[in-house]
Structure 1
Amino acid sequence: MSLASYIGCNIQIPLSDDDDYNDLMYIGDCFSNDYKKRDVKKHQFTTPFVYEVSSHWGIEISKYMDQRTSTKSKKKLIALCEIMDSYLEKGDYFELFSCWIGEEKDKRVGEITLRIDNLNIDLIEMPEKTLVRIEK
């Protein structure tokens, strides 16, 4: 199984070009398909546009993860926030949800709200199936 991360937002954003692919952040399908994105939109998000993000593994920050994976997830979250900061207007937000492929409809384990301009990455606990709302 694979861990996928999805974002939901109120605006359309461009997908990453294959030339832009890197090991840190990519906006476009890796593990998911239209049905999985539809499920996560219906069961998790409040926003109309859904994208899969990350690269070859989702974003999960948990004390139960190994240090290397946790550090990489923190870097991915920072990169995602930098990208989204350029698209969002003041007062807008995007949502982030990570889960194992096939679990897009499952009940959430939690919800948190973060500020894009006050992201203390070392204090964030973001296990799978947590809805994260990131406000600008």
Structure 2
Amino acid sequence: IILFFPGLNSIKGNWHNFCTAVYKDVTYKELKNLLNSRKIMLIDVRNTWEIIECGKIPGSVNIPLNEVGEALQMNPEDFKEKYNEIKPSKSDSLMFSCLAGMRSKKALDIAISLGFTRSQHYAGGWKEWSTYEHSE
């Protein structure tokens, strides 16, 4: 078990590097490559109405931020029924996105706290994605 105590100066060296790696922001290009490889589950934590109104990153699953903690603790059958996807295991790679990175960072924190240690977030969110996609 690894505990994180912000501001604790007695822990040095690799601990800082580990934390930095866990919270690394993913770029548009990195996300696009990961989606093409099908090695991640992309979870869009915006409200459903936002996705209907604005669009979504192809292949993403909508789990609004206020449902993330509960969803990641559901049994697989209930998860499949509610989100029409196979529930990720704690060893799966998860990516969180939202509009501009604020909610996805909160979702990332929730996932990490629940043991989903292979989680990251796309800080650029839908705003950045749609800008790149419309310019290509």
Class of the TM-score when normalised by the shorter of the 2 chains: under 0.3
Structure with the higher strand share, 1 or 2? 1
Structure with the higher helix share, 1 or 2? 2
The structure number with the bigger radius of gyration is 2
TM-score by length of 2: 0.27
TM-score by length of 1: 0.27
